[in-house]
Chain A
Amino acid sequence: MSHALPVRAGLASPLCARKASRVLLPVALRSRRVVSGWLVAGSLLVGCSGEVGAPLSPNSQLADNRAPSAPGSSSALPGVGAGPSATKPDGTPSVSTQPLDCKKVNVGATPLQRLARGHYVNSIRDLLKVTVAKDSLPEDEKVGAFDGNTVAPVTDLLVEGYMSAAESAAKAALPQIEKLVVCDRTKLGDAACAAQFIEQFGQRVYRRPLKSEERASYVAQFDAYKGKGYPAALRVIVQTMLQSPNFLYRVELTPVQPGAEVTTLDAYELASRLSFFLVSTTPDTELLEAAKTGELLAADGLTKQVQRLIDDPRLSETIDSFHLQWLDIDKVDTLSRDPALFPMFTPEIGAAMRKETLRFVNYVLREDDGTLDTLFTATYSFPEGPLLDLYGLDAAAAKTGGPVELDPSQRAGLLTQPAFLASHSYYGQTSPVLRGKTVIRNVLCQTMPDPPPNVNTTPPASTPDATTREKLIEHTSNPSCAACHKRIDGIGLGFEEFDAIGRFRTKESGKPVDASGNLMGTEMANGAFNGVSELAQKLLTSPELPQCVTTQWVRFALGRMEADTDACTLDKLFKDFSASGHDIPALLQSIVLSDAFRSKRVATESAP
């Protein structure tokens, strides 16, 4: 089948006009990185008992006909499917026997998604200009690291939760309800204005024009309730619309098309995916208009809308929520720390940590060069208020409101920020295990097997003044722990130069801090390092980190885990990402233009 759009039609990188000159790997090395295979997050188990330091080797062939520059090269297929067949009973990834033809459009199935709470709350904010508390609904399921609802169905409790939230929102909107759709009632009459309201407001709630039977049910509702007054009748309509499955679910119909497996999204479905991905909320009227005219399905029309949304201030909500969830730092402002050891740790400093990291990621992506490398190596940040103390800076350092230069021998990028360091620590001490594990799992998208059954996880006795490193010695002296913990602690112990609230330290328990680590399980960056800055530099020389970032953004964009059939898309996105010098805004654009984003699978059987 043919695409409506040429791939990456004329899209320049809009945010990165001031791109710093970057030292790129030599071409030969880069192409090796590119062909080294698509190692999909969460799919490959890195055996602990075997050679954990060995590169993860591809285990199946991928016929990539779009990469003639790499003849005979192989890529690993992701071992993840959307359903139960994803792994074999013994836990090893299942492998497709059919090689994918990347000349064709291949895409994994998208499950019927229920709005994530953040998207629900933002949609109601934009539709009605009222605030709904996120807490009024139960927490979302996860899609990998991200909020999403793709498996468990609604329950009685949730249906009643939606009912209450819809009623409160409609009630709160009552004073301005007539202004949501401007109509001259004295001139046109109530019935005509109500019809207009149903048409126009309904289209915004449903993210597509209403069908005739849907319109009819709201007209009937208006007739039933108009006796209570025009605004009251609109209120009933609004609270009903907010309980509609067409609002609560991200509906993408899967028509039966004989002979086809994949079809492009319709314009409204594409508008929804675009809007929830880039601005974390329901499509605005301009986007719906571009869907209506068909502009969105044309190359320049899509480019224009993507450009507009990337320039929209609301892109920050997407940048915020991606990074908070990806690095698992969302709860940093609710942490508690032993006041005897960390008197400076207060809820205010936790909030400042969160704010610092969000300002930092937004600055890198929207004002600096937008690269992954800068995210992991920048020696500036945005400390404010109580955080200045933690950094050992005086108030003058932050008075410009711009980025503050930090000591480059101590700090470099996201992994050295207090939000990350404190989130992955304990009440009274650091946790090399939590820090190491978060790097392995979230940052490198690798997983490890369970500890052996019946292993005694009780830590050994240790002297009270032992350093954290000394307390963990059992991890590597006991063979049943060592297999995995060499790898976890090898990374985590490199973070020991930062305490449990992210302060730089040179001593622990009166002894000099040893922040030496050993990176294992990567293709090109294994070996010793000292401190987090060196670790971050090392990670950028191997494919796992940029591959993982690509995968994480794809999961976030699609609201689902990758499937075998997404391999061509992922491979191409990673190649583009590498070629762009790890330009993240360009990656977001590439994702929007990818097969996986613009297509869907069709039904394989007829409706019952």
Chain B
Amino acid sequence: MSRSKKFPTSFSRRSFLAGLGAAAMSPYLPLLNASGQEPTMPKRLVLFYTPHGTVKNQWKPSGTETNFTLGRLLKPLERHQKKINVLSGINMQDVGVGAAHTKGLPLIWTGSKLLEETTFTREDGAGGKNFGWNSSLSVDQRVAQVIGAKSAYKSLEFGVRSGGSNPACRMIYTDARKPLAPATDPWAQFSRLFGSATPEASGERLSALKVARAELERLSPKIASEEREKISAHMESLSNLEMRLTATAQLCAGPTLKPKTDFNVVANTVAVVDSQIELIVAALACDLTRVASFQYSVGDTDNKPYPWLGINDAHHNLTHSVDTDTASWEKVMKIRVWYAEKFALLLDRLDSIKEGNGTLLDNTLVVWGTELGEGRTHSFKSTPFVTAGGAGGAIATGRYLEYEEKVDHNRLLVAICHAMGLSDVKTFGNIDKGTGPIARLLK
């Protein structure tokens, strides 16, 4: 088997397979039928997050569903206009405990509220009750249960400035109280995904893993029953690791990242964001995973400066500026345009990978969300969403869809499930009051 030096910029799955031995196919290429003749390219899902809502009148497109002009804040997406949908006027339901930014972040993808538990005291400035982790799983994890089951990683989470271990900083959940922290150091993540351990090192790892698993098994019955779930989650992660260690194929050498820097230093943020985007695209192209998410900053006050944009004020504070403070609002716009540029970069890279008759982007559904409608009012009405990619033909793109604040975002979460092939899903999230996918998005 030959190793490619870089991840492929173009490959057809079948030709790719031709060079692989049977051992290499498993478990990395799960959708293939026995003959290796997969009829269609696999679907992928990417969730993309940026903080603190938008400024609606600068974000909203003008025009009709199929003939529209993007607003100032989405201008960088113009080159992808045929492959995106702008979804305006979707409400998130403002229910449950937690301040707006805190509950909004986990709400986006779970469509569910925070648990009324005492795990956390308020950290975000609003005062108020205690709160717990989110109460249900996020849509990417529901999808991953089906399409990610056999890939090396069921899903991969990437973050930049993504904060501490609390609901205001965690948007992805495999279940109630089970958040997935994003990986924040792209260079460490590169080694994890694309670095290949020597057989010797793998052997040592498997040996350590075996000891740990035996101890967990002995421990479980001896601790309080309500704590055993922690043990079983640990065992599951060890099994996943074992599966990756025993798989022999490493198909890709990975992308070329920017030179390694300290990911925690504010001045390095752009290099970190760009590297994370490269890793997401490479992980999907190499089929290390089919489900990924990218979290830029946190719901709980993005207050680090943006020196690369010449902005040293705290973003969250800027969003609470008075109307007449045009200088501050100009800074907010600059930050939001930069978000769109990074979203466009992700689409550039996805669209540059040829797959079959189209591109990786055509087989992917990318959804961009934020934790509330407008940061300045903390309103959950008209929370902006943008989708990109065709989800392997499930979605018609190039449209501006206006929902006039008459639909909850739980309908969008159901539509995501349907687009990814989970067409039996009727509701999503434990606050869902309706049924079925959002109108007009799916073909």
Contacts and interface: CB of A to CB of B under 8 A. Distances in A.
Interface residues of B, number: 82
B97 A91 contact: yes
B292 interface: no
A454 B211 CA distance: 54
Interface stretch (A28-36, A120-128, A134-142, A584-592): A134-142
B157 interface: yes
A441 B231 contact: no
B112 to A, nearest CB: 15
B312 A450 contact: no
A73 B49 CA distance: 54
A159 B132 contact: no
Say which size band chain A's interface belongs to.
35 or more
Interface stretch (A246-254, A281-289, A498-506): A246-254
A163 B211 CA distance: 13
B128 A448 contact: yes
A215 B345 CA distance: 53
Nearest to B307: A336
A484 interface: yes
Interface stretch (B83-91, B220-228, B389-397, B426-434): B220-228
B384 interface: no
Contacts of B129: 45, 87, 91, 447, 449-450
Contacts of B209: 243
B223 A253 contact: yes
Contacts of A246: 215, 219
A273 to B, nearest CB: 16
A489 to B, nearest CB: 12
Interface in A131-169: 135-136, 138-142, 144-145, 149-160, 163-164, 166-167
B130 interface: yes
Interface stretch (A172-180, A457-465, A511-519, A535-543): A457-465
A221 B305 contact: no
A427 B313 contact: yes
Interface stretch (A188-196, A389-397, A600-608): A600-608
Nearest to A46: B127
Given A138-B165, A224-B207, A441 B127 contact: yes
A377 to B, nearest CB: 27
B117 A112 contact: no
B94 interface: yes
A80 to B, nearest CB: 5
Nearest to B214: A217
A112 B211 contact: no
Interface in B106-135: 115-123, 125-130, 132-133
Nearest to B221: A607
A510 interface: no
A557 to B, nearest CB: 17
A152 B177 contact: yes
A472 interface: no
A159 B237 contact: yes
Contacts of A245: 212, 215-216, 219, 231, 234
Contacts of B225: 603, 605, 608
A447 B99 CA distance: 13
B5 to A, nearest CB: 25
B53 to A, nearest CB: 13
Given A91-B116, A447-B127, A450-B127, A458 B222 contact: no
Nearest to B234: A154
Given A156-B237, A449-B129, A603-B225, A87 B207 contact: no
Given A91-B116, A145-B121, A159-B238, A240 B192 contact: no
Contacts of A380: none
Contacts of A457: 320, 376-378
B166 interface: yes
B254 interface: no
A42 B128 contact: no
Contact of B234 (A153, A428, A447): A153
Contact of B118 (A80, A114, A166, A221): A80
B241 A152 contact: no
Contacts of B204: 167, 225, 236, 239
Contact of B180 (A114, A157, A461): A157
Given A141-B166, A157-B183, A152 B234 contact: no
B178 A153 contact: yes
B356 interface: no
Nearest to B219: A245
A244 interface: yes
Interface in B256-278: 264
Contacts of B222: 253-255, 607
A37 B376 CA distance: 41
A217 B201 CA distance: 19
Interface in B325-383: 376-379
A221 B230 contact: no
Nearest to A485: B127
The 5 lowest CB-CB distance pairs between A and B, nearest first, are A153-B233, A607-B221, A448-B127, A240-B208, A112-B227
Interface of B: 94, 97, 99, 115-123, 125-130, 132-133, 153-154, 157, 163-166, 177-181, 183-185, 188, 192, 201, 204-205, 207-212, 214-216, 218-219, 221-227, 229-231, 233-234, 237-238, 240-241, 264, 305, 312-314, 317, 320-324, 376-379
11 contacts: A109-B224, A112-B223, A142-B165, A153-B233, A155-B237, A159-B241, A243-B208, A254-B222, A450-B128, A455-B378, A458-B377
Given A153-B178, A457-B376, A603-B224, 19 more contacts: A42-B118, A80-B118, A152-B178, A154-B237, A164-B188, A240-B211, A245-B231, A251-B223, A253-B223, A254-B224, A427-B312, A441-B121, A447-B121, A447-B128, A451-B127, A457-B320, A459-B320, A462-B322, A488-B127
